[in-house]
Amino acid sequence: MSAQKDCEFLVKRARELVSDDPCAAKAWLITARTLYPADFNIQYEMYIIERNAERTASAGRLLYDMFINFPDQPIVWREISVITAALRSDSQDKHAQFLRGERSPDSPSAAGRWREGNSDGCVFFLCVFVCLTQGFFETLPGRVQCEMLLKATEQCFNTLEKAEMLLLFLKRFPESVVQHGINLGEKLLEAEASDNVETPVNCFRKLFVCDVLPLVVNNMDMRLPASLMQKYMLKAAEFYIGYVTRGPSPDVQIQGSQEGASLKSPAASRGSQRHVIDGLSEKSSVVAEPWERLLDILAVVGARCEWQGDKGQSYVDMLQRVKELCRYLPGLEGDTRSRCCSQVVICAALVLFRSAFLYVSAVQPALFQGVNALSSGPWILVEDLSSVYNDVEMERGAVKHAHKKRKLADGREKTMSSDDEEGSGKGRGRHISVNKTEMPGWSETLESFRTARESWDLLHSHDGLESEFKKICASWKTDSWLWFRIFLTDTIIYQGQYRKALSSLHQMAAGQQPLPGQQSPSGQGSLEHHRALIQQASCHYALGEYRMACEKLLEVVGALMPPSQEPTKTSEDQGRVKTRMRKGSDLRLLPCTTKAMLPFCLQLMLACFKLRAFTDLRDDLSLGHVVVLLQHDWPQGERLFLKTLEKICHQGSFQYENFFNYVTNIDMLEEFAYLRTPEGGRIQLELLPNQGMLIKNPSPALGAELNTLLLQGVQTMDRHHTVTRGITKGVKEDFRLAMERQVSRCGENLFSVLHRFCINEKIIIIQSLP
């Protein structure tokens, strides 16, 4: 004899009837409810019948009843969360579908069921609220309704659910935003703070920024202090920037790479864009057009804070506006000044971070989710060395080697073009060259870099601005933003502060070390490492620290595999934007690929040795290295080579034991052979392999004469005076043979030869530099 049994009986009868005669089933339940109004199962059964029949109005009303009467029933909350989820995804679906111009297949989730059932998923939940405002609540004043709902909202289990409920409520009753908008916002920010979430891209902030904030700032009935609005503005900016620059989540990356391996369809890249904010669904984790949203909020906040200038501008316009504003800043005082200051700092900071992001996303795409990392690898900002071959005057050489001049006459002049695009009128403008075909968006990228630098400079143009900006950076912990550090490092390099850049690079390398797990199958990690080393090398070079530069370079080269094919020179030459006659203060964006890095390393080494080789002091080793390195990109370095020959002629002799190991260029071989002829000046050339080795292990293959010669050569520095005629003759013969053999090596892969040179001679190379 229990009420429980009675209720079970009543519900059971209703269930039996529901398929054949739903009206009868409902009649049973109505009766049951009047008998046992406090029984949850009876009301839940009523609700289920209405819900399954997709009668939204009555289901909504019943759910509301349950919500009021049984606030502790988990089932009620499950239903409500299903509905709020459906609501949220609905609004996003529409937006997302609009953006993608496609229909996404509905998930078979409960939310999906709701949506399928209703032409408009919102209808259901609105019904709940319509019941609230009309029906039996009609007699209650609006204020009481709000109180009721807020009380109900407080019974939500967690802050997020509560906030979502309240948010729907605010959207339904916009007039209540005045009373509850700020409160909800603060609650979310509090929750975020107390939850110890480590990133601004979290569910609370997302709700705050994307949903609550627009309601609040667009409500003109509210009087908001400027300080609060600026605080909110910065919260929004931090979120959007954090969202845009969020790194790829590890599991997603693997998935993405698998997909990428199997098929290179757009689906693969879309798959890698998946990112779920903890606590939110996949759909509600998506924020469409974050920069635009941020700009929207900025426009409203600006209007409300009485900022100068018209609204609805772009980021670029905004920078121009605050630049102009900045000029008046020193003349302003008091509130006007601080308001102006805030405007400049906030606007310039947003332009800075956006432009810096655009730049870094082109230069280091793998850092970010959503940026298509497959399109191109990292790029390195380095000294532009394309003028390395052109640096030396060759007046005299041209006379002496007139007979060769014809052969070399094609020259490289036509590839040299004057620079003018950028930097004209800008004092410290340095040119950054880039291979246009390899980086399709090069002009936007360079423009972003420039805009970011301008913003950065602007923010550091006044103490007042700088201190404000530093506050923002401190609260956002921008120091820990790897991507931003990359931008800053490149900026410092651009400014020529190489020492600072080096310390920044070292810091970055240290910061990156503890993340070996992030190495993806594509070897992204080692690419990063190479990138840092090359940039360091470039800095060391710019500082004149050639030894350090080469050390870093050779570390990279040692890890590279030489390209199996010789570079096709035509494409390389066409791709090069410009090689200029200007002083070597230009920069270049170098693709972080073996194909591009190896040539650059060779050029940089050449640049290091070139200066040593052509001093007045005799340094055959450096000169020899220069000859070896000049083979790359031949005949670009023809003039320099001629200058080398000139110097050798001037010296009258030249000793470089590695010559036959690493020089395979037919033109060079010819020139050296010529040097020994009477016409060439009978230059004494000591080019045969390592005498030291021969001394220790005299080779029976070599004749006694040669051994003697070599021994003598080692013993006396001024050999050609002591060498007998006969011996010299024998040497001549060996030289000729070696030359002939070398000519047959001309077809060898030059990169393999030079790569071998770098690896085998690493120690000598490094030691021969100061």
Partner 1 sequence: MGDIRQSLLPRDVLSAAKELLYHLDIYICNVVQSGRQPPQVDSKTQELVEEFILHAPKDRNTPARRMSALQELQLLEIMCSCFQEQSRDTVRQLMFSALFNLQGNQADESRMSLLGKLVSMAIAVGRVPILECAATWLQRTHRGYCVRLAQVLVDDYCSMVPGSGPTLQNIHNASPRFCCQFITAVTTLYDLTTEELTPPLELLQMIVSWIQEDPGLVLINFLNTALSGNQPISSLDVTPLGGLMRWCVKASLIYSRDKKKGLTNGSAECELEVGPLFSALHLSVLQVLMLLPNILNEKGLFGRLALLQVESLAALTSDLSRLLDQADKHTHTSSTDSSDLSELALDRLAQALQVAMANGALLCSREDLRAICSRLPHNNLLQLVLSGPVLYYNNIHTPPLAFSPHASHSPIASHPTHTPHPPLASSHPQYPAQPFMTGMQFPFRPSH
Positions that interact with partner 1 (CB under 8 A): 1-6, 9-10, 13, 21, 23-24, 26-28, 30-31, 33-40, 65, 68-73, 135-137
In angstroms, what CA-CA distances link 106 with 90, 269, 285, 448?
11, 21, 17, 39
Q: Which is nearer to partner 1, 10 or 352 (CB)?
A: 10
Q: Which is nearer to partner 1, 75 or 482 (CB)?
A: 75
User: What's the sign of the alpha-carbon dihedral 21, 26, 31, 32?
Assistant: positive
Residue 331's contacts (CB-CB under 8 Å, 6 or more residues apart) are none
Half-sphere exposure of 173 (CA within 13 A, CB side): 21
Q: Which is nearer to partner 1, 11 or 758 (CB)?
A: 11
Smallest distance from the beta carbon of 347 to partner 1, in angstroms?
51
Distance, in Å, from the CA atom of 235 to the CA atom of 193, rounded to the nearest integer, reads: 12
Smallest distance from the beta carbon of 144 to partner 1, in angstroms?
12
Q: Which is nearer to partner 1, 157 or 328 (CB)?
A: 157
Residue 358's contacts (CB-CB under 8 Å, 6 or more residues apart) are 444, 445, 448, 452
Residue whose entry in the numeric block shows the structure tokens 């082109």 = 362
Residue whose entry in the numeric block shows the structure tokens 């040497």 = 731
Q: Which is nearer to partner 1, 33 or 639 (CB)?
A: 33
Which residue type is seen at 64? Y
Half-sphere exposure of 735 (CA within 13 A, CB side): 21
Q: Which is nearer to partner 1, 37 or 692 (CB)?
A: 37
Smallest distance from the beta carbon of 76 to partner 1, in angstroms?
11
Q: In degrees to the nearest 10, what's the CA dihedral of 92, 97, 103, 104?
A: -40
Q: Which is nearer to partner 1, 77 or 634 (CB)?
A: 77
Q: Which is nearer to partner 1, 1 or 701 (CB)?
A: 1
Q: Which is nearer to partner 1, 71 or 271 (CB)?
A: 71
Distance, in Å, from the CA atom of 339 to the CA atom of 304, rounded to the nearest integer, reads: 12
Residue whose entry in the numeric block shows the structure tokens 């667009």 = 218
Distance, in Å, from the CA atom of 16 to the CA atom of 11, rounded to the nearest integer, reads: 9
Smallest distance from the beta carbon of 293 to partner 1, in angstroms?
40
Q: What is the number of other CB atoms lying within 10 angstroms of the CB of residue 627? A: 27
SS3 state at 682:
coil
Region for residue 21 given its phi and psi (left: phi exceeds 0; alpha: psi -120 to 50; beta: otherwise):
beta
Residue 534's contacts (CB-CB under 8 Å, 6 or more residues apart) are 380, 382, 552, 553, 556, 590, 592, 597, 600, 601
Smallest distance from the beta carbon of 183 to partner 1, in angstroms?
23
Helices (H) and strands (E) in the chain, counts: 38, 5
Q: Which candidate, 757, 631, 731, places its Cα nearest to that of 676?
A: 731
Smallest distance from the beta carbon of 71 to partner 1, in angstroms?
7
Smallest distance from the beta carbon of 168 to partner 1, in angstroms?
20
Instruction: Report whether 56 contacts 34 (CB < 8 A).
Output: no
Residue 657's contacts (CB-CB under 8 Å, 6 or more residues apart) are 686, 687, 688, 689, 690, 691
247 secondary structure, DSSP code: P
Smallest distance from the beta carbon of 250 to partner 1, in angstroms?
43
Q: Which candidate, 421, 360, 370, 415, places its Cα nearest to that of 390?
A: 415
Smallest distance from the beta carbon of 242 to partner 1, in angstroms?
41
Q: Which is nearer to partner 1, 19 or 424 (CB)?
A: 19
Q: Which is nearer to partner 1, 135 or 440 (CB)?
A: 135
Angle formed at CA 657 by CA 755 and CA 625, multiple of 5 degrees = 45
Distance, in Å, from the CA atom of 131 to the CA atom of 58, rounded to the nearest integer, reads: 9
Smallest distance from the beta carbon of 24 to partner 1, in angstroms?
5
Q: Where are the alpha helices (DSSP H) in 401-497?
A: 402-408, 442-459, 463-476, 482-495
Residue whose entry in the numeric block shows the structure tokens 């018209």 = 310
Distance, in Å, from the CA atom of 309 to the CA atom of 344, rounded to the nearest integer, reads: 12
- Please state whether beta strands 587-591 and 432-434 pair in parallel, antiparallel, or not at all (unpaired): parallel
Smallest distance from the beta carbon of 9 to partner 1, in angstroms?
5
Q: Which is nearer to partner 1, 135 or 544 (CB)?
A: 135
Pull the structure tokens for residue 584: 């070597």
Smallest distance from the beta carbon of 3 to partner 1, in angstroms?
4
Smallest distance from the beta carbon of 135 to partner 1, in angstroms?
8
Q: Which is nearer to partner 1, 151 or 506 (CB)?
A: 151
Q: In degrees to the nearest 10, what's the CA dihedral of 199, 205, 207, 212?
A: -160
Smallest distance from the beta carbon of 52 to partner 1, in angstroms?
17
Smallest distance from the beta carbon of 81 to partner 1, in angstroms?
19
Pull the structure tokens for residue 674: 């010529």
